[in-house]
Amino acid sequence: NEHEYIMSLILAIETSCDETAAAIIKDGHIIRSNVVASQIDIHRAYGGVFPEIASRQHVFDIVPVIQAAIHEAGSSWDDLDALAVTRGPGLAGSLLVGANTAKAIAWGRGLPIVAVNHLEGHLYSNWLDEGDKIVPSAITRPSPPELDAAGEAFPLLVLIVSGGHTELIVMTGHGEYRRLGATLDDAAGEAFDKVARLIGLDYPGGPAIQAAAEGGNPLAFAFPRGLTNYAIQPEHRYNFSFSGLKTAVLRQVRELGEGPLPVADLAASFQAAVVDVLISKTAHAAQLLNVKRICVCGGVAANKALRESVAARLPVPASIPPFFLCTDNASMIGAAAHYRLSTGGPSALDFDVEPNLALEMRE
């Protein structure tokens, strides 16, 4: 039945990288609970995520995080209608902890389960609202995409921008996607981490560069904007490249030589270049394709400069999730699962994790 799961209460689990997360989602968009156990402090010493340590920490955290999500939602096991879990992409060991835990719960309680693509989860973070969940008053957001039965807001243009992914996708309906382009080398978030190390900032690079850039001049250094000359490279109008920008920062650091670096100016100029590329390409695609709305999502969507540019420079209405839904969380997995259940039904219990899982393209 196409509408069998429309009014479902879903327990969602996300363990694709170094956050152990669980959430209870009602009706596909209301957050009843959202619990995240972060491992940032554990991995900071390594300058990035150490996969084996991440998967072992998930084993320690997964049960208490799930229990906290159910308690915070004021729900019980008997209230649940379905399970959702991230299948990929991500770290194999981390994904296995979440997937096997979700399978065990689904089998033990006789509940349907939905295996969710992590990227699709980020996309559906734009459909979530806080509902009856108490959240910090400082969190604000534009309204989520208004989609009536006729799909009036489609087609949507989606910019997914995170540590592992930078992609432009056209969404023509629920579960219906067409990839326009993606990064040819580093993802934007990966570039933030690498440049942060180059200029002596801590991991994770995104927040560190944003903080340093507050006191810097974004015009101090003329860093390149890769693949933005559409007359010369029209085939790459929807693709991204940040390796040249990263190399330009490295060369600038070497040219500056010994002595204290102008860290604030370097951070501000680098950040301005990344934001300019992301926004200009998204705006260019929106105008060419005549889309009705833009959705921005992923960990880098928490960047203040990017959020300000989304509000100021995009040519059509845009949605961007609150900060706590930009980084990895389980609420977005529950939202994506709701629409998967309503259109395609549950997954088989024998699904496997896929570390390199791509977003299924269909229109």
pLDDT in tens, 200-210: 999 899 999 99
pLDDT tier for residue 316 given thresholds of 50, 70 and 90: very high
pTM: 0.91
pLDDT beyond 80 at 138? no
pLDDT beyond 50 at 150? no
Half-sphere CA count of 326, side-chain side, radius 13 A: 26
**What per-residue confidence (pLDDT) applies to 17?**
87
Mean of pLDDT values over 335-356 = 93
Most confident of 45-49, 99-103, 154-158: 99-103
- The pLDDT tens digits of the residues spanning 266-302 come to 999 999 999 999 999 999 999 999 998 999 999 999 9
* Closest CA relative to residue 328, chosen from 201, 191, 195, 189: 189
Instruction: Specify the higher pLDDT residue, 292 or 43.
Output: 292
Q: Which residues contact 21 (CB under 8 A, 6 or more apart)?
A: 13, 14, 15, 34, 35, 36, 37, 65, 328, 329, 330, 333
- The pLDDT tens digits of the residues spanning 215-253 come to 999 999 999 999 999 999 999 999 999 999 999 999 999
Instruction: Specify the higher pLDDT residue, 14 or 141.
Output: 14
**What per-residue confidence (pLDDT) applies to 4?**
54
C-alpha span between 106 and 341 (Å, rounded): 14
**What per-residue confidence (pLDDT) applies to 153?**
75
**What per-residue confidence (pLDDT) applies to 7?**
52
Mean of pLDDT values over 312-337 = 94
The secondary structure of 315-350 as a DSSP string is SS-EE---HHHHSS-SHHHHHHHHHHHHHH-PBPTT
Q: What is the mean pLDDT of the chain?
A: 90
**What per-residue confidence (pLDDT) applies to 1?**
43
**What per-residue confidence (pLDDT) applies to 53?**
87
Q: Is there a contact between 181 and 238 (Cβ–Cβ < 8 Å)?
A: yes
Rounded alpha-carbon distances, angstroms, from residue 335 to 25, 110, 122, 188, 203: 7, 21, 10, 25, 30
